[in-house]
Amino acid sequence: MASAAIFSSLRRQRSPTLEAFLAPVDLTDVGLLQTLTALSSELISAYSGKRLPFYQRKNCKSLLRKIQVFSVLLECLLENNKNRSRGSSDLPFTAFLCFKELYLLLYRSKILLDYCSHSSKLWLLLQNHSISGHFHDLNQEISTLLDVFPLKDLKNLPEDVREQVELLKKQARKSQLFVDKHDEMLRLKLFSFLNEFENGGVPDYAQLYSFFVEKLGICNPRSCRVEIEFLEEQIVNHEGDIEPTSSVLNGFVALMRYCRFLLFGFEEDDMGLRLGKHKKTKRGLISQEIAETFISVPKDFCCPISLDLMRDPVIVATGQTYDRASISRWMEEGHCTCPKTGQLLDHTRLVPNRALRNLIMHWCAARKIPYDPLESGDPCVECFPSASPSRAALEANKATAALLIKQLENGTQIAKTVAAREIRLLAKTGKENRAYIAEAGAIPHLKNLLSSPDAVAQENSVTAMLNLSIFDKNKGRIIDEVGCLALIVGVLRFGHTTEARENAAATLFSLSAVHDYKRQIAKEDGAVEALAGLLREGSPRGKKDAVTALFNLSTHTDNCARMIESGAVTALVGALGSEGVAEEAAGALALIVRQQVGATAVGNEEMAVAGLIAMMRCGTPRGKENAVAALLELCRGGGAAATERVLKAPSLASLLQTLLFTGTKRARRKAASLARVFQRCEHASVHYNSGFGVGYAFAGNSAAARDSTFPGDVSVSMSISVPVL
């Protein structure tokens, strides 16, 4: 039926009202007639004259004429029943049932007419056949309704009204699908522009102007923006059985974006370029996409060396899997053992782990996380297919990028701001877009806007830089651009807006995914200090960007001293109590305390142990894992004072006991190791009277639990069975 198809289409815009599905059940005959009369009159008045939709005008007029006949019939019946007693009527029961069906039909007509009025012009052209089919379905329903309508049983009905209904009945039976030829010609012309891009050409300016401005009435940048946003909404909510496909719709979005700048230039302030009018766009950036999913990345997808999501997983001689770049660097440094197991490597061959790479790719795709597998010269490396955009979309976007970069280079300040914003949006999706925008030379010009006194220009340029940095090759281009990293750090420290500072932090996070850049970023004057400040005082999103960037920087051993002297360690300890960032903060601290100087610094933080204990109590599984790992390394490298502070922590015994049996595999292993550290401490306290002031009894797998108490400020008794892992 028409209703199902109409509702399916309309759900992409808004939910239909309940009346579209249910006929009234509590109305009398007169009440139903009054309701139908009001509804039909409303439709006729709403779409009379010039208020008709831009397209499907003939189908709309035909449907409204039919509704007018029903309106005349309803008014006559209502007039005939006006003088009867309240609520009574001589309306036959069959007619009453038909009018209830008419109620549903009028509401479906209203939905279809509204849909044609509020949809974009391009979308109506693309859906020309489908929408024409919806009108034809309504005509068929009208014909069916009139076939069973008891017109002869209606008394006191004027003859002219009866004749109009009879004529409508005959016309409805003969009605056929009508597709407006003019609209169809416009649709075919629209596809011809896309085909021209598909074949490697560029449509003629005069033809584009004639089509979009003169024929479609898209006369200004704002109209272009409305068309683009409507098509993008259809792509997001696209259903597999709807034509055209998402790739074709992406092509029309690219075509419309190209026409917006080719036909209307860059000077128009159509997007609220001043701060007071600047409309915040929906966040779909790496700062949100990756940072929000950071805590849930499966451990098996992360390289044991870099702790980053593996781009090119390979298997070494011991059967362990590492990211190719990390294990290659390990071997180049002269190591001949497996980093994870310590076993001697029989050979240095690296075998691609295709199965794991495939799992990572699909996991990222399911969560819409950007994932660009690194290219490899190994012919055995599998190439995974992905849903790539059409060539037409790529070529149209390339043509648009050329216009934008030209304005970045030579345009006015307003034109540069508009161009930066559009590059920001264009680089938001698709590695192809990010690749050719950078190849065309956008990064040097965006760099110049990072120091702009205009807040919107700065915000758009740093966010464009962030989006470009998602593509791995662009990370090198940004780092190699002289002064670019310093300017990004400058935005982080002194940016005009909060969003600019947060996106600068997210850019550093993205760049720090490359191991070789982590040290360079940390050495940049003020970078780590600014990240620490954002972690202490930023918004929830800013804290997330800052803590993930600090975590990445912590994975490089050379950055430990910088993390300490810049105050990052103190900020990370403080973040242990902040919801949303505590897990990554604990992870960063677990990395820092691996070095003795880091363990000492963390041990000197008064709230470090208490914060990690709280994480073990209330954190996520991975948070608990990070917390117990940090406490273990703190005991190993932080000295006697740090060990004593951990030993005296309240409730640690029960927390370790719980973690040994309910934690993740790594958490159980770390908890068992920490328990053994306490065993040695207890043994030392018994034989050497070291005076930790806490008694612990740890039973092995077959040993009986025992309690012991030592004099001191705190007396704790616990028995833990340490499982063999």
Q: Which pLDDT tens digit goes with each residue over 25-63?
A: 566 778 888 888 888 888 888 887 667 777 888 899 899
- Calpha distance 650→617 (Å, rounded): 11
Q: What was the pLDDT predicted at 683?
A: 58
- Calpha distance 502→517 (Å, rounded): 20
Tokens for 344? 């001697």
Please, are residues 402 and 424 in contact by the beta-carbon 8 Å criterion? Answer: no
Sheet holding 321-323, edge to edge: 321-323, 313-315, 351-352
Q: Which H/E stretch holds residue 167?
A: helix 159-174
- Calpha distance 311→295 (Å, rounded): 18
- Strands of 136-269 (E only): list them: none
- Calpha distance 640→635 (Å, rounded): 8
Q: What was the pLDDT predicted at 317?
A: 87
Q: What was the pLDDT predicted at 711?
A: 29
> What residues contact 551, with CB distance under 8 A and at least 6 apart?
294, 584, 587, 588, 591
Q: What was the pLDDT predicted at 720?
A: 36
Closest CA to 247 of 198, 280, 285: 198
- Calpha distance 272→279 (Å, rounded): 7
> What residues contact 605, with CB distance under 8 A and at least 6 apart?
569, 570, 573
- Calpha distance 311→324 (Å, rounded): 8
- Calpha distance 342→558 (Å, rounded): 22
Tokens for 401? 């990028």
Q: Kindly report the length of the chain.
A: 725
Q: What was the pLDDT predicted at 207?
A: 93
What residue ranges of the chain have pLDDT lower than 50?
Answer: 1-21, 87, 269-270, 272, 274-295, 375-388, 686-725
Say whether 606 sits in a helix, a strand or coil: coil
Closest CA to 228 of 212, 243, 215: 212
pLDDT in tens, 589-638: 988 988 888 888 888 888 888 888 888 888 888 888 888 888 888 888 87
Closest CA to 125 of 205, 183, 79, 53: 183
Q: What was the pLDDT predicted at 715?
A: 26
Tokens for 380? 């055995």
Please, are residues 21 and 11 in contact by the beta-carbon 8 Å criterion? Answer: no
- Calpha distance 131→122 (Å, rounded): 13
If one counts every other C-beta atom within 10 angstroms of the C-beta of residue 393, the result is 26
Mean of per-residue pLDDT scores for the chain: 79
Please list the alpha-helical segments (H only) found in 297-449: 324-332, 354-366, 391-410, 413-426, 431-439, 442-449
- Calpha distance 693→516 (Å, rounded): 46
- Calpha distance 127→113 (Å, rounded): 14
